[in-house]
């Protein structure tokens, strides 16, 4: 869907439909909509149909202009719910539902007036960014593998931005940001929803190569033999049970002049199918274990957004990608592994494989890059879902400022994070009689114990946080901007963290 500006007086606006927003139980329309009714939409202002519209969240209504009305034949109202409960999620979801209504009734060229944002508790550029993100992301469907009954509904061809004045720089930037992050989220969703026989480690490696070609990123693909020769015994142990080739994917965005800056490093768990290994999972919903690479997908999605936006900061992504399978060569409970850091790990459960591949990626990042900060993102523990449900991700780390930055940025982007503690005594659950640590403790504090395991591989002087997105990577509910299925959770937060990171050469937190 193209996004196109139309600068003209209100009387000269032309679109197949124009979208406005409304609050539930409001005494009067939002300021911009009220002004439009006065200047051009008088045919609707006294209509009983307008009074019937309740403006509940995700509610939409189409109002048709009388015959002979020129320029705008339809007005689409999208509900935001009560004004005192407004947050940016309501706006992007309303926009998504409005655009789906356009698809439903074959509206090819809908538009939204910049005046539609007047009266909202958001600055216009921020409101436009959320609206466009919701419009684009909410329309997307993954249909690449369908061959029957796959005729797609005709989506809107162009989304018109109607304004009486030329847009300023922040408004123009908002459009670019929305398009960039929507593309990133869509990439992450498509990778996560893809079946495991398609989205293999090799497929993720090829995706990284394509991103590198399009955006002039550097990319390095380390195969299993290379990982073994480098001393990545933990990653290799998980990978050796699969017949699919395993890879450590390293992708780097280093614009001219930033090549020597300490980078911001994103690490994404890329278990493309998790059977549990020898500690085999129960068959219920085992098909959902194709989602265990959602962390890696989110990092690739963030790099899609970074490439499109032309970010001027150095960012590195590291994706340990493999299947976890119960082959005759698979690693076993009781095995002791030597990690890249030199620390040894007693395997208690082969189904706690995510932390085992991530620990080598973390240690590799520390040694090779001396990073300004590390953020790892992973569908790590079912315990996180028990603790926080399916709409909130956990954030754990060694730096309170970075944890706070993640929480605030996530809140701004509509991605909720809640902190869990990493006090030293939690490591007691991982003490081993035969190795430096076990890979899992008992069932208590599972999400925290997963985090405390990873903490052993990052020195305290490097700011690090771990994002457990086990519950948020997939949804069974359609919320508008996030249709049922893979969510792309984390892409917007990672992208915005990269955008707001300190200027080149600085290593302290913002």
- Find out whether 316 and 263 touch, Cβ atoms under 8 Å: yes
Determine which helix (DSSP H) or strand (DSSP E) holds 63, and give its type and residue range: strand 60-64
In angstroms, rounded to a whole number, what is the distance separating the alpha carbons of residues 241 and 326?
Answer: 6
- Find out whether 416 and 393 touch, Cβ atoms under 8 Å: yes
> Among the options 129, 269, 355, 492, which is catalytic?
355
Told to judge if 189 belongs to the known catalytic residues of this protein, a careful annotator would answer no
The residues near 65 (Cβ < 8 Å, ≥ 6 apart) are 43, 44, 72, 73, 74, 75
In angstroms, rounded to a whole number, what is the distance separating the alpha carbons of residues 344 and 26?
Answer: 62
The residues near 353 (Cβ < 8 Å, ≥ 6 apart) are 238, 271, 274, 277, 324
- Find out whether 393 and 485 touch, Cβ atoms under 8 Å: no
Going by C-alpha positions, the residue among 67, 2, 9, 73 that lies closest to residue 41 is 73
In angstroms, rounded to a whole number, what is the distance separating the alpha carbons of residues 193 and 83?
Answer: 35
Neighbours of 69 (CB within 10 A): 15
In angstroms, rounded to a whole number, what is the distance separating the alpha carbons of residues 5 and 159?
Answer: 9
In angstroms, rounded to a whole number, what is the distance separating the alpha carbons of residues 257 and 495?
Answer: 20
> Among the options 34, 35, 209, 281, which is catalytic?
281
Told to judge if 407 belongs to the known catalytic residues of this protein, a careful annotator would answer no
Going by C-alpha positions, the residue among 320, 91, 339 that lies closest to residue 234 is 339
Three-state DSSP class for residue 149: coil
Active site residues: 281, 355
């Amino acid at each position: 869907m193209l996004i196109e500006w139309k600068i003209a007086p209100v009387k000269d606006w032309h679109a197949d439909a124009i979208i406005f927003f409304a609050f539930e139980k409001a005494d009067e329309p939002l300021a911009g909509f009220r002004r439009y009714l006065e200047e051009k939409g008088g045919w609707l202002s006294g209509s009983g149909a307008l009074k019937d519209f309740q403006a509940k969240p995700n509610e939409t209504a189409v109002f048709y202009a009388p015959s002979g009305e020129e320029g705008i034949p339809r007005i689409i109202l999208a509900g935001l719910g009560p004004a005192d409960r407004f947050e940016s999620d309501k706006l992007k979801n309303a926009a998504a539902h409005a655009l789906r209504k356009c698809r439903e009734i074959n509206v090819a060229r809908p538009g939204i007036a910049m005046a539609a944002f007047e009266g909202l508790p958001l600055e216009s550029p921020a409101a436009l960014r959320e609206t466009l993100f919701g419009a684009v992301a909410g329309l997307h469907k993954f249909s690449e593998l369908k061959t029957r009954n796959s005729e797609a509904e005709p989506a809107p061809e162009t989304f018109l931005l109607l304004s009486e004045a030329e847009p300023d720089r922040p408004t123009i930037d908002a459009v670019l940001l929305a398009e960039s992050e929507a593309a990133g989220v869509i990439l992450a969703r498509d990778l996560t929803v893809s079946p495991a026989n398609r989205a293999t480690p090799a497929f993720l490696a090829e995706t990284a190569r394509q991103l590198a070609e399009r955006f002039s990123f550097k990319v390095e693909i380390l195969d299993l033999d290379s990982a073994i020769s480098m001393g990545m015994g933990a990653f290799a142990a998980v990978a050796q049970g699969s017949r699919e080739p395993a890879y450590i994917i390293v992708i780097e965005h280093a614009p001219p002049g930033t090549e020597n800056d300490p980078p911001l490093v994103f690490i994404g768990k890329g278990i493309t199918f998790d059977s549990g290994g020898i500690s085999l999972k129960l068959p219920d919903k085992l098909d959902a274990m194709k989602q265990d690479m959602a962390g890696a997908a989110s990092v690739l999605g963030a790099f899609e957004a970074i490439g499109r936006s032309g970010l001027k900061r150095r960012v590195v992504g590291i994706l340990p990608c493999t299947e976890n399978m119960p082959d005759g060569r698979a690693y076993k409970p009781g095995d002791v592994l030597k990690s890249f850091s030199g620390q040894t790990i007693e395997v208690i459960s082969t189904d706690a494989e995510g932390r085992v591949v991530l620990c080598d990626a973390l240690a590799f990042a520390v040694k090779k890059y001396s990073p300004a900060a590390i953020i790892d993102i992973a569908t790590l523990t079912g315990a996180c879902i028990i603790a926080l449900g399916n709409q909130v991700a956990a954030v754990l780390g060694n730096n309170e400022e970075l944890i706070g930055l993640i929480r605030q940025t996530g809140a701004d982007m509509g991605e909720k994070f809640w902190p869990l503690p990493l006090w030293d005594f939690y490591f007691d659950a991982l003490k081993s009689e035969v190795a430096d640590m076990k890979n899992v403790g008992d069932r208590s504090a599972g999400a925290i114990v997963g985090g405390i395991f990873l903490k052993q591989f990052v020195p305290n002087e490097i700011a690090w946080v771990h994002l457990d997105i086990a519950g948020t990577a997939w949804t069974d509910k359609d919320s508008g901007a996030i249709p049922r299925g893979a969510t792309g959770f984390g892409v917007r937060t990672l992208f915005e963290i990269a955008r707001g990171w300190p200027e080149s050469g600085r290593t302290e937190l913002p």
